[in-house]
A and B are shown apart, each in its own frame.
Chain A
């Protein structure tokens, strides 16, 4: 294979990775905006674009020869990833608490714990898989390892939390942090743990009118 052909293949691979990201993001936007607008809170219909995206991601992993270990479902680099995340997570948690204290008139108050919070770790792991295990990996193919791909991941994560202003801002910061850590230590359990802690803290401490039950997409409006 000549260098010209090799460059051509690389360009095709980069473009393809970009299209893969776009396709998965569009599925998320369809689930968040289109399904809710047309059929309301139908979980079955809402699951269709999510299932399509998941099936495509699994197919893509198989075609590219990626194992579960490659994606970050592993434990050998869990502690190094946790070490990278622990300080920023504590700082973000403190920031949330200070914000909650200010928003509650300089008083601490916590919302009651809801059983559905028990599902947050699974939901966080799924989100981190889609965000890091798929989008981050494809972003690295499309834009290379480093700032560009990290920014791309963070902007995408933030965009799928529109129009909730608080979540859009916080997920931009969270996206930057988790994407950067994943590129140094590709582990999914550690960012999922950080994601869980911060999400629950957010839901429990901030006034409900501010987090609006963590609603995103069209659901935010009602």
Chain B
């Protein structure tokens, strides 16, 4: 019976050790795959989706951004255009973090999402982090984009 108690204690100890291991791995993975240092914003312009994206852990990095319309990948680009307002607001060390995707869509209501691509240290895993919120907009017959407010959809 005494031996049994030692085994029970060993089982509990091993379970605790494994729980800690899995928790540490999960938290490390989350911080590595989805670092809280990514910031950005996207908005509708008359013929494009534009915005900015910054990785504050590496403020000189020009992030790759990907545009998805209605859940489908459309195009990708680099956030390296001038956005002096971003630097002025203290989000980035320099102004070269802007992006702009020119769009030519059929009339109707659409949703755009912009994601920043993040690769971990060995580039073994890549994740997409959404920049800002999903962007709802209407495309008019003449091809112009009109943003919709939250209440419109």
Chain A residues in contact with chain B, CB under 8 A? 9, 12-13, 16, 19-20, 23, 26-27, 30, 34-35, 37-40, 45, 48-49, 52-53, 56, 59-60, 63-64
Contacts and interface: CB of A to CB of B under 8 A. Distances in A.
Contact of B7 (A20, A26, A34, A48): A20
B25 A38 contact: yes
A154 to B, nearest CB: 24
B28 interface: yes
A116 B56 CA distance: 45
15 contacts: A16-B11, A20-B11, A23-B11, A26-B18, A30-B18, A30-B22, A34-B25, A37-B29, A45-B25, A52-B18, A56-B14, A59-B6, A60-B10, A63-B6, A64-B3
Given A13-B4, A49-B18, A52-B18, A35 B25 contact: yes
Interface of B: 1, 3-4, 6-8, 10-11, 14-15, 17-18, 21-22, 25-26, 28-29, 122, 124-125
A186 to B, nearest CB: 21
Contacts of A38: 25-26, 28-29
A23 B18 CA distance: 10
Q: Which of B14, B26, B29 has the most CB of A within 10 A?
A: B14
B125 A63 contact: no
Given A9-B1, A63-B6, A27 B18 contact: yes
Contact of A60 (B7, B15, B25, B122): B7
Nearest to A5: B1
A56 B4 contact: no
A82 B11 CA distance: 35
B17 A34 contact: no
B17 A52 contact: yes
Contacts of A63: 3-4, 6-7, 10
Q: Is the interface of B mostly helix, strand, loop or mixed?
A: helix
A66 B7 CA distance: 14
Across chains A and B, which 7 residue pairs bring their CB atoms closest together, nearest first? A38-B29, A38-B25, A63-B3, A40-B124, A56-B14, A63-B7, A59-B10
A178 B3 CA distance: 29
Given A9-B1, A63-B6, A49 B11 contact: no
A4 to B, nearest CB: 15
Given A56-B10, A59-B10, A60-B10, A49 B21 contact: yes
A211 B107 CA distance: 51
B7 A30 contact: no
Nearest to A59: B10
A56 B124 CA distance: 33
A13 B4 CA distance: 8
A19 B21 CA distance: 20
Nearest to A22: B11
Given A23-B14, A40-B124, A63-B3, A16 B25 contact: no
Given A12-B4, A30-B18, 14 more contacts: A9-B1, A27-B14, A34-B25, A38-B25, A38-B26, A38-B28, A38-B29, A39-B25, A40-B122, A40-B125, A52-B14, A56-B10, A59-B6, A59-B7
